[in-house]
Structure 1
């Protein structure tokens, strides 16, 4: 057999094996098959707190070209020419994931293309294209025209593409470059992170028609002390705003204001939002032009709750709606074996939240990433507190004018995007000194920017990566927070102005054959059986209760909701197929500790 023929055979065998590998999940979930077969993934309206009736989902199959040798995708002036090398990618799954159909690591340059037609009912409307998250630098082309750029990995953004549209078929091309160099916010999804990298489009892409004068965004702030909701509606163009609060379809209150200015919606004898009773009011907002015509109408919701520090028997503690509730939670990393940063389906996205609730926890610490708006909707609706981390940068001391500016920009965007969710009660700018800089100043800025929530400036300040000097305890914010593995003894104690939090503890592992990621697996400690692991958890919670009662501890967050790749310390396996503890016993001890916290009221 000649050399040429041998090379051809090897080439085709390599391609065949690569394709077969790409179609074989290392660890499928119960949702993998459905996600791979559906025509339009995530067909649900993606923005529950600013909802319009008319929209078009662009999720599904796109043409795709990617890799180091593909045309540079950083701020290109013209779109690349797609040829017969183009593959098909399933949006919104990142190209590193199984569900995308690509499953290659570290593409760097990514080019996406698809066509669409504007519905006939959108005539004379402005058309907005929304990207709920793309990592990292995005350039948009509509029918060959450059329609805008955006830099960021975790925040939603949009462009008005009306000037570039034509009748009939329109073509959108998206160029994305993600260097994975740790110099932008990336969290665990970076060069010093622990898990598979995720780049490109990884949340929903969608179109929406609006009038020239329309609502751009809203800001809702419950004020329990004054029995009212503060409302700000930012709009394009001037207009009068009418807000109506509803309870089960019945009008509770109505108020009017001007676009861009704050006004108040009275809520007499408000029903309060809490994990025990997560009551949500419906909200409609109408925008009228100068002639009194309604030019935009949206649906939203809100919860009446507040969170602040106070003294309980002389101890500084967080108070929700005026009372202390022990916050017991899970560290929730939000990774998936088939979708990486993207849950395979809406049902899967909800699953982890429902599991946490069913297991008797009242808190999720969303660790080192943000989620789509619908994640927070389910937390709001089902009733779970959320601590929201800011994804870390890794090389904060290199090119500081750029890296630190990118961090601050995305931190502000994160707060703005998720401001209205009643479930979010604490912002966490830094974790274990990762990428830490100006922690004291940034903690103070977050507190000033959003005084309605608590701020944990450097969760686990007692831990630090070996390659940098620890910033340590910033000394301000609302929490003194340590991480203790396995713990919980050694946890921080409150001071005069800050409550005590055990931001991470536990991390006890259990090997479950057939349900582990194909790498060397590890945990902080291990138990040999499900029963023994449950016994260990119950014992840890008994200790947490002692710390709560006698040492002033107010928050305890167990690591973690699920196994994640090499880590086998989850309450669920990574594929969500096996509950690794006896959940009825977990629920019983969690509820018992929370119930004991009610007795601490003076």
Structure 2
């Protein structure tokens, strides 16, 4: 049974009646969000997102159905409440969990109900039909008009439209009921970062039900249903396909305008691709986001049947090889570094839905003001007006597919539904000028198979060859199934980063996420506290660390041939406090002038020439190195540095044992190590670390030589318990030996960092054993240590066994030199 109606409140807002149904009066009351944006108080039943919702296919006659609707929670299998009054009031189109909706709670199942009247000047019937349009409803929706089921739709991020003409009853009030089921992360449906129980981390409040605009409009039986527009810069034309309902025998005419001036026109059969000339096109770019207007008419002979207004931009997204020999992203034939923020699109008052159109515009405009030219729209799809503002203001967009939930492998039917919805979202968004990259997967969330990921990337490229496909953002991270090798982009994530992948084959390289520097601002946080990947005490420190982090990005870009970098993030979101703005958009958390200056310097300086790449010093010649600890003392707590002035101290009772040559240090794997108390290596350049090692046991991680960084070691010469292999590693990147080691046996390990080639190479007993790519090393100011590592700002991975003959070099040893070093030690 439907839950009992609550007492109705005396009317301020009246829901229109339906013939034969008693009228009920109730009041919508907004909830109180934990924090409010500057636009929260501007929202009312009379102005709930009143702007035309579909800017690329505009009809002059339309009427918004946003506003106050009746609402009730529902039970599974419950009959629709046709002709019944519902007890609560909800403000559409704000999701029910939001304060602006007036409900402010989650329901797995729910009913919406209202009445509407068709305007008297709309001649509905015969050749003129009434279309009912939904921007987005999360997740499964069923629609009834006057008790007649007119539509079902599955998917929380794509729009749908239905002809309701045959369900209308005369010219009076009509009843509209919408039933919705949204179980969020109880199922495998695409949800992005929504969770039924948000955590104090990176997952947020769910957004159920109608969360984008609802409107109706008259349209002829033969009408434009969709415009597919692809600019062809080389041909100086727009390739246009008008999908026309009941279009057989109809002609489509398209006219392009620059202001009031006609620049090109074309006509042809409905559904056919037309070439609309755009001679000497003025190209769209972030610096000059020029847009042309477009009128499209459907003709039956000489008679105009339908007319819609639209617009488009002329731009071309490609990959080209720079003077540095590396492949780069290019816009309009010129290398352009994609400097981006991670934009989640959440609001403390509307959750998934911005309170007003000005609020929706605000985040994009501020991103542009900060000197960025790109936005990564992170595992969420926005209302059409968001892309309209990106087009108008001039921001490139990397569009993510909302992910399925994390944890486990999705079943076959969920995979199929994910792929269907991905293709639908791409189809609906193919004409936005601003979108330049599609991103189907993020960090392995919801991924089921590396081969399938590659296939999906290939299919997206075939579906839309005019844009880049980033098959897997953060392919180095988290739940990733590994690199499929497909798509146009290889994308690493690293916090604090930046990440430093290298272009490979026909793929450019990008840093898909880095940064995440946090600052708590009391009174402007969703929770009473917050987190970031590195917390700072004040705005000045946050700004300084941001500038330092972005300068590191500039170094990576020039040295490694990086094509883009994505900083986390535009605004705080719930427990995450790593935005440029607080979650309520009330406080600027950094010095925006300094942010803009460093951002513009990055875009200006990264040009694919490699001219700004720093020059690496040659290093100290010979095989002695800049630090050499033979560990031959056999007694005491100090070991002599034979190459420099950084003697090592045996810590926490470390003892001596018989070494590979002479004596060696014996470590217990719990807390013992050798501390040089100095940052001996410049870990941003070339270096080498070597040691003779013996393990007493296998299993967990154990590190022989490392150098402490702020959060983790800059490098690890180690045994990787996760792989049961020796490794030379950066955080998240490992050059691995091919086979497992044996306990009780001496091995010679050498890790070579070659910054010029962006590689890590591991040698075992003088032979190359494994390689990995990571273009830039991390700066570190902590000590070089023997027998442990540093991770999450603390000591870890203590060596369990013996270590002997440790040497470090301020250059990358060659393979011949490593073999020579091994031979010299092996002969002792």
- Partner Cα distance (1:168, 1:183) in 2: 42
| 2:164 corresponds to | 161
| 2:481 corresponds to | 471
Aligned residue for 2:234, secondary structure, equals helix
Of 380, 395, 411, the residue aligned with 1:369 is 380
TM-score scaled by structure 1? 0.92
| 1:170 corresponds to | 174
Matches within 5 A, 1:551-570: 551-570=560-579
- Indicate how the Cα distance of structure 1 residues 395 and 359 shifts in structure 2: closer, same or farther if over 3 A, else same: closer
| 2:31 corresponds to | 23
Of 456, 459, 463, the residue aligned with 1:449 is 463
Matches within 5 A, 1:257-296: 257-289=268-300, 291-296=301-306
Does structure 2 conserve the Cα–Cα contact (< 8 Å) formed by 1:59 and 1:91?
Answer: yes
| 2:234 corresponds to | 225
Q: Alpha-carbon deviations, 1:78-126, whole Å to 9, x = none? A: 545634x510000001111100001013x01110000011011211320
Structure number with the bigger relative contact order (C-alpha 8 A, sep ≥ 6) is 1
Matches within 5 A, 1:4-403: 23-35=31-43, 37-66=44-73, 70-72=74-76, 78-79=80-81, 82-83=84-85, 86-105=87-106, 107-123=107-123, 124=125, 125-166=128-169, 167-180=171-184, 181-190=186-195, 194-237=203-246, 238=248, 239-289=250-300, 291-313=301-323, 314-394=325-405, 400-403=411-414
TM-score scaled by structure 2? 0.67
Question: RMSD of aligned C-alpha atoms?
Answer: 1.9
Aligned residue for 1:458, secondary structure, equals coil
- In structure 1, stretches of 5+ residues that fail to align are 1-10, 13-18
Cα deviation for residue 319 of structure 1 reads: 1.1
Q: Alpha-carbon deviations, 1:450-508, whole Å to 9, x = none? A: 1100010110011114xxxx3121111111110010011x4211112111100000000
- Partner Cα distance (1:217, 1:21) in 2: 37
Aligned residue for 1:442, secondary structure, equals helix
| 2:823 corresponds to | none
Aligned residue for 1:23, secondary structure, equals coil
- Indicate how the Cα distance of structure 1 residues 52 and 347 shifts in structure 2: closer, same or farther if over 3 A, else same: same
Does structure 1 conserve the Cα–Cα contact (< 8 Å) formed by 2:328 and 2:608?
Answer: no
Does structure 2 conserve the Cα–Cα contact (< 8 Å) formed by 1:396 and 1:404?
Answer: no
- Indicate how the Cα distance of structure 1 residues 601 and 212 shifts in structure 2: closer, same or farther if over 3 A, else same: farther
| 2:493 corresponds to | 483
Does structure 1 conserve the Cα–Cα contact (< 8 Å) formed by 2:561 and 2:608?
Answer: no
- Partner Cα distance (2:233, 2:187) in 1: 42
- Partner Cα distance (1:570, 1:439) in 2: 31
Does structure 2 conserve the Cα–Cα contact (< 8 Å) formed by 1:323 and 1:601?
Answer: no
Of 433, 436, 439, the residue aligned with 2:453 is 439
- Partner Cα distance (2:270, 2:409) in 1: 42
Tell me, yes or no, if structure 1 residue 590 matches structure 2 residue 599. yes
Aligned residue for 1:571, secondary structure, equals coil
- Indicate how the Cα distance of structure 1 residues 365 and 589 shifts in structure 2: closer, same or farther if over 3 A, else same: same
Aligned residue for 1:126, secondary structure, equals strand
Paired positions, count: 572
Does structure 2 conserve the Cα–Cα contact (< 8 Å) formed by 1:446 and 1:455?
Answer: yes
- Partner Cα distance (2:264, 2:153) in 1: 39
| Rg (Cα) greater in structure | 2
Aligned residue for 2:426, secondary structure, equals helix
Does structure 2 conserve the Cα–Cα contact (< 8 Å) formed by 1:493 and 1:551?
Answer: yes
Cα deviation for residue 38 of structure 1 reads: 4.2
Cα deviation for residue 396 of structure 1 reads: 8.8
Q: Alpha-carbon deviations, 1:212-260, whole Å to 9, x = none? A: 1111111001111111111101102221111111001111111111111
Aligned residue for 2:438, secondary structure, equals strand
- Partner Cα distance (1:599, 1:415) in 2: 30
Aligned residue for 1:537, secondary structure, equals helix
